[in-house]
Structure 1
């Protein structure tokens, strides 16, 4: 695996993970330092001792990062792929093992989690999704790759190549991260009502069902979601993990049922960019837009909301804002339309900013 790694990919990986190139080299090789560690990077690809140097470098990185060399080599060779991991803790089993039934259950849960994040990105927030996913969602999910498992306790690795739609694909990973944080915080509060305010973060019944499935067949084991961002598309977020404690799975499973039958309404303000516009003349409530931005009092700032505008004047203002790339602000009541979360704006509560 290390023989296929290029000097350019190695160098960008070292820079991305906090290593610094020293001004002095050694016999033509570049010297990179991190704390008490130094590594040598060959001057160019194809040098006689290049494979040996790269093997030594990957072994040092494995020590520094406490990860397997093969996993690090895959990351170096994949500059345009986000990495996820899903860590489960099978009770009574040694590190690196899970039961066959629990493993199958976890893989199905990983698929459900990724699928629900993709649907939230494409279709906007929903309390629960109805019907089959769209072809756009299928294309995104089909891009995701299931990698080899690793120990500690039992870890499913997933690679998400950014492909020809890097910004859109990255939004799926960011959406999943934000939703996981919102679910963890709501579960930690121990109050199912706390989940009512997570829908704007992309939390749905399907996402909760998928996360609950990672808590083991009985739903009580701890679990963890991890994220490492492709260095070819920098992110403001560092590599991070979102941990769920023992018993959280049961709470999250109950929350899934609550979201499926929720009639919750809440006062919401969203500020952001108009992402798309939808005029359906056959409907009385014909004017809708999708706004990507920040929801007041919600954690994080990557939210997409369907907004139902009160009249044609507001819709024309939204068109102008979209064309001029201006921010808008909408205030109203977040309520359920079918399964979708939709912000219903009364007259005079939609404005174009500056």
Structure 2
């Protein structure tokens, strides 16, 4: 965890383009000058020069003086302004996990869980926005566009005030942008760049999942409260990610959305998750996975059990190993039925202690995982 947040934000906020976006959003008027752009406040009481590049001699000192001027003009601290400038070209999601720990800290196991859940949460939004169909369980092999998007997403520093995680999604500015206009988050969604549409999808899907959980709690509804919101991006992957923000013995979790100044939208209210929500979300994810198989997974591991009724014919096999789905690897014990020839090879692999591989669609029934439509069963060679 970084301890000098102001230093971090100053490094980001000293970018001329971010400063210009911020000044534009505050109504300052630009005028081209030698070596940079002179910005004049709307009441003409203040002016600041934004250098054209970071290579200017004394650039850092010049920028610090610029922030002092902004602080005087706005009556706010330099650190507050620096923070807002540093995220001028990005949508930022703040996830407050509220652990039962000293401010700014979290138990290590809960911290690992929260960061992995954060990744899965953002990925669920990217997949929901790029996938061509609505599904209760997202495909194991994620769309290329979603994976490319994830390579550009950045983690920011954590904050005190419980334990706050930050995600930065860079947002492309409008081409030829000379002024900023405020939009409602849901207006002209299709005209927005993919990165902004992912942020909007995350917000809509998360609100939908919490609304569904409230209906289950207050009206005693079933899984239908979630499945009818699948078109909003509510699915098992999203619900699992949200439930991972819970802390043992902690308080209410919260998700805040901050929108890039390059494409400003109306202010949105934070989303709050309590412990009852977390329990319902986890149960809903299990039921959705049971209702819809997870396609295109590969199981790699050891044959640990075999069973068939007679001396020949198909038989049931249990494999303990890793489930590979293109983005994650999970340890599971999986049950499947193999045709006679493949079952015989599985028997030999079990006797020899060999590793096997098989592909199919994963479905959960109760506490067991089953692989449907198995194909490509193979005994893998020993490593050299």
> Which residue of structure 2 lines up, in the alignment, with residue 238 of structure 1?
267
Q: 1:207: which partner in 2?
A: 238
1:177 and 2:203 correspond: yes
Aligned-pair RMSD on alpha carbons? 3.7
Give the TM-score normalised by structure 2: 0.56
Partner of 2:267: helix, strand, or coil? coil
| Residue of structure 1 aligned with 2:193, choices 151, 156, 167 | 167
Aligned residue in 2 for 1:333: none
Alpha carbons 2:227, 2:234 under 8 Å: kept: no
- 2: CA distance, partners of 1:97 / 1:42: 39
1:212 deviates by 0.2
What is the count of residue pairs matched by the alignment? 249
In structure 2, C-alpha distance between the alignment counterparts of 1:87 and 1:3, rounded to whole Å: 22
Task: Say if 1:222 and 1:247, in contact at 8 Å, map to a contact too.
Answer: no
Unmatched 5+ stretches in structure 2: 1-9, 31-37, 174-190, 293-361, 364-384
Higher CA-based Rg: 2
Alpha-carbon separation, structure 1, partners of 2:103 and 2:139:
39
- Give 1:230 shift: 1.8
1:261 maps to 2:290: yes
In structure 1, C-alpha distance between the alignment counterparts of 2:193 and 2:70, rounded to whole Å: 29
- d(CA) in 2 for partners of 1:120 and 1:126? 9
User: Measured at CA, do residues 223 and 43 of structure 1 come closer, stay the same or move farther in structure 2, by a change above 3 Å?
Assistant: same
SS at match of 1:225: strand
Change (3 A) 1:22 1:104: same
Alpha-carbon distance in 2 for matches of 1:61, 1:155: 30
CA distance in 2, matches of 1:63, 1:256: 48
Are residues 1:30 and 2:40 paired?
A: yes
Q: Deviations over 1:170-229 (max 9, x none)?
A: 1111110100111111222214442222211111101000000001257x7421222222
Taking the aligned partners of 2:77 and 2:286, their CA distance within structure 1 comes to 40
**Partner residue, 1:43:** 49
The Cα shift of 1:138 comes to: 1.0
TM-score by length of 1: 0.60
Would you say the 8 A contact 2:236–2:286 is kept in 1? yes
* Structure 2 CA distance for partners of 1:225 and 1:125, relative to 1, 3 Å: farther
- DSSP 3-state at the match of 2:65: helix
Q: Matched residues in 2 for 1:169 and 1:3: separation?
A: 20
2:252 paired residue number:
222
Would the alpha carbon gap of residues 59 and 137 (structure 1) be closer, same or farther in structure 2, given more than 3 Å must change?
A: same
Q: CA deviation at 1:55?
A: 3.0
- Indicate how the Cα distance of structure 1 residues 256 and 60 shifts in structure 2: closer, same or farther if over 3 A, else same: farther
Relative distance call for 1:22 and 1:129 in structure 2 (3 A) is closer
| Alpha-carbon offset, residue 31 of structure 1 | 3.2
Ranges in structure 1 where 5+ consecutive residues have no aligned partner: 264-337, 340-354
Deviation at 1:126, TM superposition (A): 1.2
